[in-house]
Amino acid sequence: MNPRDLYPKPELNGGDLRPPGLTTDMPDRPDHGEESYRGSGRLTGRKAVITGGDSGIGRAVAIAFAREGADVLISYLPEEESDAADTAQWIEKAGRKAVRVPGDIQDEAHCRSIIDTARSELGGVDILVNNAAYQMAQPGGITDITDEQFDRVMKTNLYAMFWLCRAAVPHMPPGSAILNTASIQAYLSSSALLDYATTKGGIVAFTKALAEDLAEKGIRVNAVAPGPIWTPLIPSTMPEKKVKSFGGDTPLGRAGQPAELAAAYVYFASQESSYTTGEVLGVTGGKPVS
């Protein structure tokens, strides 16, 4: 099938959302692979932690991991409980264990508790997906970014990734994998997302440096760089005009769906990528990531 026609083109209706936004409130709901993803046992027996696992890319990855045979812990904000419950049901329908851990990853102690819970409830952690992120578009540029917003973006997108990795690595056996969600914004940065783009560039650098650091331990570290992907984050944090045209400027002419990223995360988590570390895979609808 022509990839340009696989999913709807702009304009998509995201509804009147406020951060963090819920999937159930979106008139045009994203596809997370609920009805399409088919597993083949590539992650049988694995134990995965996914931040931001309640919705969007995180939900798609959680569904795929479970159908590939992994037990999954998802972390999310308390106000996203209804979305998290839906994701947990999909994990359990796949016959795998689902663990829900609400809380704010801006807090270092909570990041440690996520890893501690994975060890106690899943029996360990050998896949860590640092996916949760915060953004808030400011069309006026740097002068409209408050200290409070800048701090939240940095702590959610960068500090939490560092804290989670630092807590997890001592307990991850050889063969484990760390997957970070970067962004097209690391390469084609928007002035309206200056702080967010800064963190995504940092995630790319962090991925490469940590991959070198952990290679001797047999732990691989890679990143996926999504382009414009249709999730609750978009209508809840971007101006209405941008939402209406979202994804239309890609070579494929549309926004991507979370389901279209799941296979990339499965690849990096599985032994199929055993000779790949420190890499960034763009899933961008044709926008360059170099």
Q: Which domains does the chain have, with CATH numbers?
A: 46-283 (3.40.50.720)
**Given this model, what pLDDT does residue 18 score?**
86
pTM: 0.96
Q: Which residues are catalytically annotated?
A: 196
pLDDT confidence tier of residue 280, bands split at 50, 70 and 90: very high
**Given this model, what pLDDT does residue 92 score?**
98
pLDDT confidence tier of residue 132, bands split at 50, 70 and 90: very high
- Give 216-266 pLDDT, tens digit per residue: 999 999 999 999 999 998 999 889 888 989 999 999 999 999 999 999 999
**Given this model, what pLDDT does residue 182 score?**
98
236: nearest Cα among 246, 224, 248, 250? 246
Output Rg (C-alpha) for the chain, integer angstroms: 17
Average pLDDT value for residue range 123-142: 97
How far apart (Å, rounded) are the C-alpha atoms in residues 46 and 68? 9
Q: Are 156 and 177 in contact (CB under 8 A)?
A: no
**Residue pointed to by tokens 């952690």:** 125
pLDDT confidence tier of residue 290, bands split at 50, 70 and 90: confident
- Angle at which helix 194-214 crosses helix 147-154, to 10 degrees, equals 30
Q: How many CA atoms lie within 13 A of 195 on its CB side?
A: 26
